Chain A
Amino acid sequence: MECKKLHISLLVPVLISATGCTSLGVEPWERDLLAKKEMSLNAAPIDAALDDHIYFSKEASSGGKGFGGGGCGCN
């Protein structure tokens, strides 16, 4: 069951990359919106670091977006 989920998760990027050259992506001059700070995947790294610390201390999951890591005795 878990292996299946893993395979599906890995398949998605492979499929996207396989079709990437033909239908996905933009030309360099089309990056006006993507170049905005709020369009970056980690637009607010400080907020993300603080949130990671809170949820790492209160829940059993961590990481995913970045490293889960250890780092403090809060859990």
Chain B
Amino acid sequence: MKNGSDKTNIKTALTIATAALLGTNNLAQATSTSIASVEENSWEFDSAFLFYSEVDRVSASEAIFNANKTFENEEVLNLKLTIDALTGASANGAVAQPTIQTFTRPSGNGQYEIAPGDTPLDDTFHDTRVQFNGQWTQPVASNLIASGGIHISKEYDYLSLGLNGNLAVDFDRKNSTFSAGFSYFQDTFTPEGGIPKPFASMLIGDSSDPDWDDEFAKTRIGSEDDKSTADILLGFTQVINRRMLMQFNYSYSVVDGYLTDPFKILSVVDHNGVAQDYVYESRPDSRIKQSIYTQSLYHFDTTVLDVSYRYMWDDWEITSHTIDSRYRVPLGDDFGTESYLQPHFRFYQQSAADFYRPFLLDSDPLPAFASADYRIGEMTAITVGFKYGMLVNNGNELAFRLEYYHQTPTDAGFEEPGVLKDVEIYPTIDAIIAQVTYSF
């Protein structure tokens, strides 16, 4: 996927998807019209383009093209193509220092320097991903619906293959639904530079030295590794009354295999907080996650409130709370077309994994596992934003979404020695999420 032709293919696909989305009077409409004449308009399409950008860090562009066809006997075929491209800088896990720091790139080819006081970011982070999903859903008996699907995702250094299946049974005049589903993913990771040896010291020096490659290879244990993810999801949906609907889910997820991030390191500091070494992180090779999820929809006279809550816990001792809410307000046709405004608010809070360490002390014995990845540290995050949607061209919908994401990693009780007191150990992350969706 890194060669020229593949890059061109991805760019072409991205261009087509974007054109389908933005060129509503041209390509998308042409597609819609030609499909309509052949299939009597039984296909429905959604196309979306999302831009995600963090201040000074990662930017991502993601395009989705989704097609739905409903057949005569209520069978539904869903096909979805997702293409995304990531670029920018990502925290490598080391802590800021009052002096310049030098790190070796994950590939082993070359080094980068971080200015005093700055959070170490590796700016070579870039990837392009193509994902395909197919799902078939059909009634198999009275009040019983079955569904099955496949998932393929490929990026330069990662391959993910997945399967899922689901059964849903309706009862009490279809006011209640029980569902049970499973999914299984098999992922293979082939990171550039190979799989680092857990807690091996990052080799820093002259990468043009004749011995460099041999020395670098000593910090590696292989070229690829894999992991599997098996999920079980049980759900119950209940119509409360004419205005209200509720859902309750329980999920159990077992992840086995390589769960370490090969690009993440930890600073090993002395009693003054001065970095003496950088070591590659190490995580357990299994994780069991469970969650409960509840969602409620309420239709007021004209507006709709959608609120959900999730509690997640796992055997890494991470727990999290997520509250997500949307409030849809129809604006009538005040702007010349029927439209709505939908404010969105999300709150997220998690505790740290039991092996999370912002840094290691050289006076302490090495723990069994350690990671300084802020994503498994203690944090709070909020998302605020809105979506504006309008009906155009005979019921097709055009919608815009703009959101702001603010993540605040917090100190889970680690005492900072010496110079670490004067640098930012838990930098916040700010991101803008902008999206355009066109459904036809």
Please list the residues of chain A having a beta carbon within 8 angstroms of any beta carbon in chain B. Answer: 2, 5-6, 9-10, 12-13, 16-17, 20-21, 24-28, 30-34, 36, 38-39, 41, 43-47, 49-50, 53-55, 58-75
Please list the residues of chain B having a beta carbon within 8 angstroms of any beta carbon in chain A. Answer: 46, 48, 50, 52, 62, 64, 66, 80, 82, 84, 86, 127, 129, 131, 151, 153, 155, 157-158, 160, 162, 164, 172-176, 181, 183, 185, 187, 189, 227, 229, 231, 233, 236-243, 245-251, 253, 255, 289-295, 297, 299, 304, 306, 308, 310-313, 318, 320, 322, 328, 348, 350, 353, 375-376, 379, 381, 387, 401, 405, 407, 429, 433, 435, 437
The one of B175, B183, B304, B313 in contact with A25, judged by C-beta atoms closer than 8 angstroms, is B175
**For the complex, what is the distance from the CA of A58 to the CA of B373, rounded to whole Å?**
10
Q: Are A28 and B437 in contact (CB under 8 A)?
A: no
Q: Are B312 and A61 in contact (CB under 8 A)?
A: yes
Q: Are A10 and B233 in contact (CB under 8 A)?
A: no
The one of B246, B291, B350, B405 in contact with A54, judged by C-beta atoms closer than 8 angstroms, is B405
A interface: dominant SS? loop
Q: Are B231 and A72 in contact (CB under 8 A)?
A: no
The one of B66, B229, B387 in contact with A45, judged by C-beta atoms closer than 8 angstroms, is B66
**For the complex, what is the distance from the CA of A71 to the CA of B256, rounded to whole Å?**
14
Q: Are A68 and B295 in contact (CB under 8 A)?
A: no
Q: Are B320 and A34 in contact (CB under 8 A)?
A: no
Chain B residues positioned under 8 Å from A73 (CB to CB) = 127, 155, 157-158, 160, 187, 189
If A10-B250, A26-B175, A53-B62 touch, whether A65 touches B236 (CB-CB below 8 Å) is no
Q: Are A65 and B50 in contact (CB under 8 A)?
A: no
Q: In the complex, what residue of chain A is closest to B62 when comparing beta carbons?
A: A50
The one of A2, A34, A72 in contact with B158, judged by C-beta atoms closer than 8 angstroms, is A72
**For the complex, what is the distance from the CA of A43 to the CA of B328, rounded to whole Å?**
11
Chain B residues positioned under 8 Å from A61 (CB to CB) = 289, 291, 310, 312, 318, 320, 322, 348, 350
